[in-house]
Structure 1
Amino acid sequence: MTPRTKADAVRTRARHPWIASAFLGVPVLVALAGPRAAGDAPSAEGALPSQPPGAGHPLGTDVLGRDVLWLVLHGGASVLGSALGALLVGLAVGVPLGLLAAGPRRGFDETVMRGLDLLLAFPGLLVLMTLAATGHRDWYWLVTVAGILQVPAVARLVRGAALEPGSRTVVEALWMQGHGWAYIHLRHLARQLAAPLATDAGGRFAVVLYLLASANFLGLGLPSSSPDWAVLIERNSDALFTQPAAVLVPAGLLTALCVGGNLLVDRALARRRTDR
């Protein structure tokens, strides 16, 4: 592919924001506006479990006889809030650690990186299983631990970008000019790290979402009565062929959320390249 062809492909992706907006906008809209649009829960009296879509239940009922549409409209808030919360925890802890590890103190770099390597060795689901086994099933525990599990990868990315030869040359020049650590790292390097962090955040959002959804699917997170989309998939998986809407609708929304986030980041980076 010639440089002109590559540039044309980048511009084409940048001109079609509706693709990313459609994938990301639908689940986000459902998550934010769904609870208000759903209103009060419909009465489950007389409703049979795992009924296909019909009068009074546009998406049918789940295995407990609850209205699937009402559950879907209420289940997105926990999904979106948990994933964003865990992502913010990972960035809030990982970015400063990565910047400190890239500093002039070699001993501190080794200490931080070896400690993060130890954390990186633990499988995420195993950590969440241990957390659930000790009785820590609250929402904030799940989000905090999922976020901490992202710290090693974020810190490594930041450290690698900050140690790039071009960045180090500029940093050394700024040191010689008398600029302090805060100016160099929070102002100069922050701009250099914006693009790789944005790219990583899009993919990491999908990783966090997968980890949290897996935990909820395995019963390690939210209670089984929660309308969370992952919980709905787990609760109704046995009724996939008799009542597919109870599984496919929340699964489709989870998939659209992951794909839309990645497409949005790709579009933003493509626009940045075309503006240069």
Structure 2
Amino acid sequence: MTPPPTTSSLTAATTPRRPWIALILLGVPVLLALLGPPVAGDDAPRHDALPSQPPGAGHLLGTDVLGRDVLALVLRGGASVVGSSLAALAVGAALGIPLGLLAAGPRRQLDETVMRTMDLLLAFPGLLVLMTLAATGHRDWFWLVTVAGVLQVPAVARLVRGAALAPGSRSVVEALRMQGHGWAYIHLRHLARELAAPLATDAGGRFSLVLYLLASANFLGLGLPASSPDWAVLIERNSDALFTQPAAVLVPAGLLTALCVGGNLLVDHALARQRRRP
């Protein structure tokens, strides 16, 4: 009889053995976001360029519905995608980490107040909030990133609270408190080191969620203006010309997919390596 697989063999079997695939999928759109704008050139419509032209001489990826060069737009559009997602993650962490630490403190009433407020915030669908803001005229980059970041606060705060309330963390915190150490020393020096790993792992997966929310908002016209080279905006603007000029839709869609899938694969690989550690 064949012996049942051990935990180590199961982990090895499910571990991504080729992290370079994730690095390539994630690295290509990130490099385009970083290096693309300086080399993109002018993306303004040319007088001799027809709209929705297929790839050809002078336009390697063709033109969009406004007659702009798709390659230049793709090179410029990654900066807003990556920058907006990272900025929203930063907003969520800047608000969620302190709230989670406050909830994990010794005051039970404060814990209840913070957590019930987070529960209330969780009840609001992200796209519905963005639609409401767009209807009131708040549809620029600042509001888009701020709202997307605030919507991540409950999950970040719950993660921080749970890690800070873990038995191992609580025993050390109580010992440090009995030794006379203050709140800043305990939370900013000790707990910060304990929370670094789970927060980094969560940020990798949460990046895809934020990217999906922002891309959906831009695709629905709730965020950036229609003239923006953002990849999601390009997909929405050129969706009617999918069959006549597919490159204007498939290239930015492929880059968004690669960014999301590459980030998820890299997080899975990091988690698998962490599970293998003794």
- TM-score normalised by the shorter chain: which range applies? over 0.9
Alignment of 1:28-47 (within 5 A): 28-41=30-43, 44-47=46-49
**Aligned counterparts of 2:185 and 2:264: Cα–Cα separation in 1:** 31
What does residue 187 of structure 1 align with? Answer: 189
- CA 213–43 in structure 1, closer or farther in 2 if over 3 Å, else same: closer
Shift of 1:150: 0.6
- Give the Å deviation of 1:166: 2.4
Match of 1:211 in 2: 213
Aligned mate of 1:233, from 232, 235, 254: 235
Partner of 2:9: 5
Give me the whole-angstrom Cα distance separating, in 2, the residues matched to 1:185 and 1:266: 28
**Is the 8 Å Cα contact of residues 199 and 266 (structure 1) preserved in structure 2?**
no
Matches for 1:153-192 after TM superposition, within 5 Å? 153-192=155-194
Distance 1:66 1:43, change over 3 A: closer
Distance in 2 between residues matched to 1:161 and 1:269, nearest whole Å: 17
**Conserved? CA contact 2:11–2:272, under 8 Å:** no
After superposing the two structures, state which structure 1 stretch, 167-176 or 95-104, moved more. 167-176
Does the CA contact (< 8 Å) of 1:17 and 1:267 recur in 2?
A: yes
> Partner letter of residue 135 of structure 1?
G
Where 1:226 maps in the other structure, the secondary structure is: coil
Q: Distance in 1 between matches of 2:12 and 2:215?
A: 37
Residue 17 of structure 1: aligned partner: 19
Q: Distance in 2 between matches of 1:92 and 1:19?
A: 31
Partner of 1:64: 66
| CA offset digits 1:38-77 (Å, max 9, x no partner) | 2233652122221111111111111111111111011001
Q: How does 1:91-110 map to 2 (within 5 A)?
A: 91-110=93-112
1:82 to 64, 68, 84: 84
SS at match of 2:50: coil
Structure 1 consecutive aligned stretches of length 4 or more whose deviation exceeds 6 Å:
none
Q: Which residue of 2 aligns with 1:196?
A: 198
* TM-score normalised according to structure 2 size: 0.92
Q: Does 1:145 align with 2:152?
A: no
- Where structure 1 has 5 or more consecutive residues not aligned to the other structure, the ranges are none
Rounded to whole Å, the distance in 2 between the matches of 1:159 and 1:275 is 25
Q: What is the CA distance between 1:182 and its match in structure 2?
A: 1.7
Residues 86 and 208 of structure 1 are in contact (CA less than 8 Å); yes or no, is this contact kept in structure 2?
A: yes
Q: 2:178, 2:172 → 1: CA distance? A: 10
**Partner Cα distance (1:37, 1:270) in 2:** 38
Alignment partner of 1:50 is 2:52: yes
Q: Distance in 1 between matches of 2:207 and 2:160?
A: 17
Q: Which amino acid is the alignment partner of residue 195 of structure 2?
A: L
User: Is contact 1:198–1:265 with CA below 8 Å preserved after alignment?
Assistant: no
| Count of residues paired in the alignment | 274
In structure 2, C-alpha distance between the alignment counterparts of 1:96 and 1:222, rounded to whole Å: 30
Give the whole-Å Cα distance in 1 for the aligned partners of 2:125 and 2:96.
18
What is the rounded CA distance, in whole Å, between the counterparts of 1:86 and 1:119 in structure 2? 16
SS in 2 for 1:268: helix
The C-alpha deviation readout for 1:110-147, integer Å capped at 9, x for no partner, is: 11111111111111111111111111122111111110
Contact 1:23 1:259 in 2 (8 A): yes
User: Does structure 2 conserve the Cα–Cα contact (< 8 Å) formed by 1:195 and 1:269?
Assistant: no
How far the C-alpha of 1:272 sits from its partner, in A, is 4.2
Is the contact between residue 64 and residue 248 of structure 2 (CA under 8 Å) also seen in structure 1? Answer: yes
- C-alpha deviation, 1:215, in angstroms: 0.8
1:3 Cα offset (Å): 2.9
TM-score of the two chains, using structure 1 as the length reference:
0.93
- TM-align CA RMSD: 1.8
- Asked whether 1:250 is paired with 2:252, we answer yes
- Counterpart residue type for residue 229 of structure 1: W
- Match of 2:264? 262
What amino acid maps onto 2:129 in structure 1? V
